[in-house]
A and B are shown apart, each in its own frame.
Chain A
Amino acid sequence: MSINSLRTSLLRQAPVVSISFRLAIAKSMARAVIFLHSASFVHKNIRPETVLTTESGSSYLVGFQRFRATASHTYMLGDALWHENLYRHPTRQGVAPEEMYTIWHDVYSLGVCLLEIGLWSSFVQYATGSNGETLILPGLLEVAAVPKIRDERKRAFELKRVLTELAASKLPGCMGDRYTSLVTTCLSCLDKPSKFMDSGETSGELDDGIDVGARYVQGILSEIEDISM
């Protein structure tokens, strides 16, 4: 048995990975989020580079570079790395994010990963430049087209729209309607109104353990656990 990053698996094993294997990884990731949250932490860096996978479909969340205890002070720090912003909710992108980080921002990142896992196609490509440097390039064409918009905030929300549209158009054929619905639920978890949030609510108000936990377990975890292939 060997261990790879999910990114390596997405790049090297396409397109011959079974649906049950994809689902096993997706379920593992959805569980890791609630266990981490139950212990009062947010991860803040969920993407295929921070997930290790084994041949058996076990996966482990690592990459705690930016984690935070939910009770700790938030410094509202970010960065402009496009390949990391790809997995961040629009309100958490850039060097000066506009919202405090909550578990729902982790859920959005989870949704982008579940989309990639479902399509089994990497949104990020790695290449070696002429001087031996590592080049990080956009993968899927639809995602690559987004950075052409200059306004950061508009670009961030456009990226979210593209990802949601990608899920709606391509995911049903790969993973079925229930999985697609789950992904779009994750991607829209901070929308107002959405399945999780009424018009007047903010993500911060929901960030107490029981309320958020109940919504996550019912709205996401039980949904993905019910899917079988």
Chain B
Amino acid sequence: MQKSVQGFEDWYRRWDPSWFLIARLALPDVDAEIRQHRLENEDATPLTILIGIRDAYRAGKDALSRPLGFLPDSVTFYLPRQIELSTATVCARSDNHTLAILDYVEYRAGTNEVDISNDVQNLARVMSSLDPVTCSLLKCEGVKRNVDEAGRLRGFSLAFQMPLAQPSLSMELMHPRSDDDRSAMVGLLKGKNTVPYADGV
């Protein structure tokens, strides 16, 4: 027992967990206090990060009980344009005609379909609730199951909101401010006809 206590004391001295524990306290007073300090401090970066960690932790816990549902089959993604040398693609959504960044999660043979489905939905849920600027993680707008012609699961598409501005084909596509702007951009993309057309994803 004494050895265990000593071990904990050594660990505590070396890795003071206070800061990280505060990030996990589920008390509204803590949020209010952190925000107040952020207003009063010139360099608010550490407190912004602290808020981000709190948000991420809570989103993670919440996601375990309420995963984000899959997008209906009627929603497709069209006009795919690969972001060069990346795993992501810029596409337009068929339901609201706004642009989104698509990222793919592969379903690997030998893994459990139910587990990966739940994990993907939970990840989508978490990423739908975080601030992209603070967390450097794009805001998720939905997730879709990708199946082959035989109905077998091939993977998932995570649809993310475009950050601040779009990957532009030209200067006129820059700085969208609303969904209307994004719809207009889809029109421009279609009109320019400079992206390789493909069937819906």
Contact = CB atoms under 8 A, between A and B. Distances in A.
B24 interface: yes
Contacts of B101: 3, 52, 62
A68 B138 CA distance: 17
Interface string B141-164: 000000000000000001010011
A36 to B, nearest CB: 7
Nearest to A66: B106
B87 A77 contact: no
Contacts of A49: 85-87
B102 to A, nearest CB: 9
B19 A36 contact: no
B49 A31 contact: yes
Contacts of A1: 164-165, 168, 174-175
Contact of A214 (B16, B59, B119, B122): B16
A52 B86 contact: yes
Nearest to A124: B85
A160 interface: no
A136 B25 CA distance: 47
Q: B interface, how many residues as a size bin?
A: 35 or more
Interface stretch (A4-12, A150-158, A164-172): A4-12
Interface string B10-52: 0100011101110110000000000000000000011001001
Contacts of B137: 32, 35-36, 60-61
B107 to A, nearest CB: 10
B201 interface: no
A18 to B, nearest CB: 19
Given A1-B165, A5-B86, 7 more contacts: A2-B165, A52-B88, A62-B86, A65-B87, A218-B15, A219-B15, A225-B46
Interface of B: 11, 15-17, 19-21, 23-24, 45-46, 49, 52-53, 56-57, 59-60, 63-64, 83-88, 101, 103-106, 108, 110-112, 115, 119, 122-123, 126, 130, 132-138, 158, 160, 163-168, 174-175
Interface of A: 1-5, 7-8, 11, 28-29, 31-32, 34-36, 38-41, 45, 48-50, 52, 54, 58-69, 72-73, 75, 77, 126, 209-211, 213-215, 217-219, 221-222, 225
